[in-house]
């Protein structure tokens, strides 16, 4: 009878350890998923920031091109007036 009790205790201990390991594993998986979600969010934010920066740079380039074209037109007009 003592052997049966010892075995039963051993089984209960093993079950408790298995449950503890399973709980710990579930916690670790949840934490890893959380880190993955956070990393995904950070990537999305970085992509959005990059898109905004590209759009801003494109606007600045276009503005500079328009300014240069305006300056060229003014120079051409001044040159034409000078030749007259």
Tally of domains within the chain = 1
DSSP summary character for residue 1: -
17-64: pLDDT as tens digits: 999 999 999 999 999 999 999 999 999 999 999 999 999 999 999 999
pLDDT tier at 66, thresholds 50, 70, 90: very high
Range of the domain at 13: 1-84
Q: CA 18 to CA 3: how far, in whole Å?
A: 22
Give ∠ CA 57-61-66 in degrees, rounded to 5: 150
Q: How far is CA 30 from the centre of its chain?
A: 19
Rounded to two decimals, the pTM is 0.56
Q: How far apart are CA 8 and CA 46, in angstroms?
A: 57
pLDDT (0 to 100) of residue 75 = 87
Q: With 90 as the cut, is the pLDDT of residue 79 above it? A: no
Contacts 24+ apart (CB under 8 A), 75-83: none
């Amino acid at each position: 009878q003592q052997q049966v009790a010892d075995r039963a205790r051993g089984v209960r201990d093993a079950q408790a350890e298995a449950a503890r390991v399973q709980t710990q594993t579930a916690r670790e998986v949840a934490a890893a998923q959380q880190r993955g979600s956070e990393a995904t969010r950070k990537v999305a934010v970085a992509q959005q920031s990059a898109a905004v920066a590209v759009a801003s740079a494109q606007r600045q380039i276009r503005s500079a091109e328009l300014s240069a074209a305006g300056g060229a037109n003014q120079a051409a007009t001044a040159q034409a007036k000078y030749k007259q």
